[in-house]
Amino acid sequence: MSQELTILIITAASIGFFHTLLGPDHYLPFIVFAKARKWSIIKTTWITFLCGVGHIGSSVLLGFIGIAVGVAVTRLEFIESFRGNIAAWALITFGFMYFVWGLRRAFRNRPHEHEHEHIDGDAHVHEHTHFHGHVHIHDEKETKNLTPWILFTIFVFGPCEPLIPIIMYPAAKNSFWGVLLVTTVFGGITILTMLGIVLVSILGIQFIPMTRLERYNHALAGATIFLCGIAIQLFGI
């Protein structure tokens, strides 16, 4: 392995780690939805992993197409930027719609009290909700099934901006193994970083008392996704 390729691999690993760490859109969606939708650790891991593969794979595919047809790096970067705008607006739209749905759900599930008086004159008050168990169960199930697919689609559109310039350099040296190594290292570090942050965060959230906010979990999840999309558009993170 040449010294240049070694340096490039170290660079790919470093950029993959910090690019993911500094981009909350890489992990916040999985954290908030795992909490709101009560995903298991296994389900959360699989969804995060598959979205990460889609995220990396789409940029890798675009990069290899660009290499094959001789497209300039600047042209590919423009395409990646365009894809990034689509992904950001998709996050904003999805987040806002989910936030509205979550608020509506929380409002309908607002606890309230009823007073019951018995024949013997005794009376008692109990608190309950009318939402769980019988109202719009099909809507809940459809939303639950669609959420992972919507996330996957958004992540496929979401570009890995640093990846194409990194893989184009060894490609220019006509080194197939160089391209493969750099791509694998970048993708592996990115996905591992996503998984690490998501799983550690989920385990940490379990120790935070959130009983009073429980019914707002969906609304908070939608608001988080919405703000992620806004942050991407405003700050390019």
Determine, yes or no, domain membership for 5.
Answer: no
By mean pLDDT, which of 55-69, 70-84, 120-134 is the weakest?
120-134
The model's pTM is 0.81
pLDDT (average), residues 202-207: 84
Determine, yes or no, domain membership for 181.
Answer: no
Determine, yes or no, domain membership for 77.
Answer: yes
Residue of 8, 10, 20, 11 lying closest to 191 (CA atoms)? 20
Q: What is the model's pLDDT at position 191? A: 95
Alpha-carbon span 126 to 115, nearest angstrom: 7
Residue of 192, 188, 174, 187 lying closest to 5 (CA atoms)? 174
How does the average pLDDT of the chain come out, rounded? 80
| Residue 85 predicted with pLDDT over 50 | yes
Q: What separation in angstroms does the CA of 188 have from each of 5, 42, 63, 67, 143?
A: 17, 19, 17, 21, 30
Determine, yes or no, domain membership for 12.
Answer: no
pLDDT (average), residues 21-41: 91
Count of domains observed in the chain: 1
Domain assignment of residue 103, given as a range: 26-110+133-159+195-235
- Per-residue model confidence as pLDDT tens digits over 136-193: 444 555 555 788 899 999 998 887 777 777 776 666 666 778 888 888 899 999 999 9
Determine, yes or no, domain membership for 182.
Answer: no
Alpha-carbon span 183 to 163, nearest angstrom: 7
Determine, yes or no, domain membership for 103.
Answer: yes
Q: What is the model's pLDDT at position 120? A: 55
Determine, yes or no, domain membership for 141.
Answer: yes
| Residue 45 predicted with pLDDT over 90 | yes
Determine, yes or no, domain membership for 178.
Answer: no
Long-range residue pairs from 194-197, CB within 8 A, at least 24 positions apart, any chain: 194/20, 194/26, 194/27, 194/30, 194/48, 194/52, 195/45, 195/48, 195/49, 195/52, 197/20, 197/21, 197/26, 197/27, 197/31
> Is residue 13 a contact partner of residue 175, using CB atoms and an 8 Å limit?
no
Q: What is the model's pLDDT at position 112? A: 46
* pLDDT range class, residue 125, cuts 50, 70, 90: very low
